[in-house]
Amino acid sequence: MGTRRWFVILLLSLFHSLYRRRFFVEGDSFASIAQMEQIVNLEMTLSESLERFVELEKSRLDKVKQFSTSVKEAMNQVKIEGPKSLENPATSYAVIKRFANGWTELGNFLEKDYSNDLRNLLQSNKWQFPTHNEDLLGAMAALFRLQDTYNISAVDMADNNIIGCGAAPKLLAEDCFDLGTVAYQAGRYTQAREWLSLAETFIHKGRHDGAVNRTEVVEYLAWIEYVKGNPERALNLTLEILQLVPHNKQAKENVMHYREMVEQGTRDTHDQIKAKEEEINTNTFKSGKYATLCRGDTSQSTPQGDLNCWYHGQKSPLLLLRPIKVEMVWRKPELLIFRDLLSTKEAERIKELATPKLQRATVFNRQTGKLENADYRVSKSAWLESWDDEVIATVNRRIGAATGLEMDTAEPLQIANYGMAGQYEFHHDFGDPGSPLDLSPNGNRIATVLIYLNDVSRGGYTVFTRAKTYVSPTMGDAAFWYNLKRSGEGDYETEHAACPVLCGNKWVANKWLHIRGQEFRRKCSLNPKE
């Protein structure tokens, strides 16, 4: 790795906390599968153009080789015969012909640039390309997030041993090395060690393309072992480096440093303290309510007794012939599922309308009063009004009939598409006292209707972290709950989150209904607990 690379690692150890804050919030393309599909379609077009370019270049090269062979044969004859070969008129004719036709045609041939089409295609679509500093790092953060939430090991991720996911290329040592070094820079020391150890294993097995060598990997591993509080392990790894590269000056210096740490011991450095905190925080997250519910574990939930299901809407003209199937999945807070609220055709139309309008979803920053990107909300969203399409108007009327609430003061239908490891960490939909939502002319958000527009292969649950329950996404179903108590106070038991999408794609539609207009539709109460 050398002195310069080692200095870079030490420098990163000083600034990784700043990097860690930025690492998880910048990505964009990976935030939406809809945009990923566009990028894949672009890559197919680029692949076809590249293939045409390669075929034309191969054809050109074949012709150049053919001409080169004929020239070589002629020159060999000249070498043998010398100037005497020109006494043969056929030889003189062949030389003149090669210059009049062959070499001239070769010059014209080489002036042709078959790369123009491919170059123009690349330049005109460059604005769609995922970037390194935002999208690639965001994709890496997404993999780390999936590992933490679903307890997926690096080897299972690298070998695609994930139940429910489709086929995928296996990762190479270079991929593991990149993930390991970026994990270190983000302060994820445990994952960094796991990915770098896997990189070393893959190098031993020949599963690499030669872009990284074992010395580089072991140097990083040694430093991480030191940061993790294992100077003896760091020393042994560095001694291995000296066996591979005996004249590595930096490794010799590091051996002295690690040996001193082993023999004398020392107080924990800043990085070592951070590493211990990271391990505690990671384990706390993995065993916490959010992650366990995302994995479908409700063992900590409170028994709810009998939960009912019924048909609703016999008194509504809109639902008379097709009443809504309602299922109660939780009592406090009351959480209902409207089964088959939307048809597949309606869901597809909504996604079609929303796709060109998708933009990175934002959250309200209570300190700055501005909407901004956040690492805890990774999705793209769009807003649809009733006048955008008859399907939207129909869905809005159906929501009104199903909930019995006034729709004129409701927000437009928000469509969200969750991409690679797309998620929205725990939050509540109502505004706290004094917030813009609370002070809205239409009042606070009284209720939420969350509609699932597709099935998700794995992951993507909506989890209620205080109630300790979850709803799995099923196409056409809608979850419904009141955000406010009858007293008008916010019900913090409705705190919920969208789990990362592990496999597949997730589309949802949110309809938020407000207090204004509900005076005679939902009875009020002076009891703050109701």
**In the sheet where 496-498 sits, what is the strand order?**
377-378, 423-427, 496-498, 462-464, 469-471
Q: Is 315 left (phi over 0), alpha (psi -120 to 50) or beta?
A: alpha
pLDDT of residue 95: 75
- For 201-223, what is each residue's pLDDT tens digit? 999 999 988 888 888 899 999 98
User: Could you give the residue ranges of the DSSP H alpha helices within 82-213?
Assistant: 89-97, 104-111, 116-124, 137-150, 154-158, 173-185, 189-204
What DSSP line would sit under 338-363, residue for residue? EET-S-HHHHHHHHHHHGGG-EE--E
pLDDT at 412 over 90: yes
Query: Shortest CA distance to 309 belongs to which of 323, 320, 322?
Result: 323
pLDDT of residue 2: 43
pLDDT of residue 362: 55
Q: What is the pTM of this model?
A: 0.80
pLDDT of residue 363: 53
CA distance 459 to 424: 13
CA distance 327 to 329: 6
For the residues 95-122, what does the mean pLDDT come to?
80
Query: Shortest CA distance to 506 belongs to which of 448, 421, 429?
Result: 421
CA distance 116 to 101: 26
CA distance 445 to 511: 10
The residue whose two tokens read 């800043």 is 270
For the residues 419-428, what does the mean pLDDT come to?
82
Rounded alpha-carbon distances, angstroms, from residue 392 to 343, 361, 399, 509: 13, 20, 11, 11
pLDDT of residue 9: 41
CA distance 454 to 350: 11
5 band by pLDDT with thresholds 50, 70 and 90: very low
In CATH, the architecture of 132-275 is Alpha Horseshoe (1.25)
SS3 for 146? helix
Structural domain boundaries in the chain = 39-128, 132-275, 288-514
266 band by pLDDT with thresholds 50, 70 and 90: low
What residues contact residue 216 under an 8 Å CB cut-off, 6+ apart? 1, 5, 177
What residues contact residue 458 under an 8 Å CB cut-off, 6+ apart? 162, 163, 164, 165, 502, 503, 504
- For 286-301, what is each residue's pLDDT tens digit? 999 999 999 999 888 8
- Name which CATH class applies to 288-514: mainly beta
- For 145-175, what is each residue's pLDDT tens digit? 999 999 999 999 999 888 878 778 889 999 9
For the residues 57-73, what does the mean pLDDT come to?
87
Torsions phi, psi of 32, nearest 5? -140, 125
- For 369-392, what is each residue's pLDDT tens digit? 554 555 544 678 899 999 999 999
- For 9-50, what is each residue's pLDDT tens digit? 443 343 343 343 344 444 444 556 777 778 888 889 889 989
CA distance 115 to 120: 8
Beta strands 478-482 and 335-339: pairing type? antiparallel
- For 475-514, what is each residue's pLDDT tens digit? 999 999 999 999 999 999 999 999 999 988 899 999 999 9
CA distance 336 to 463: 14
In contact, 347 and 326? CB cutoff 8 Å: no
Query: Shortest CA distance to 60 belongs to which of 114, 127, 18?
Result: 114
pLDDT of residue 107: 80
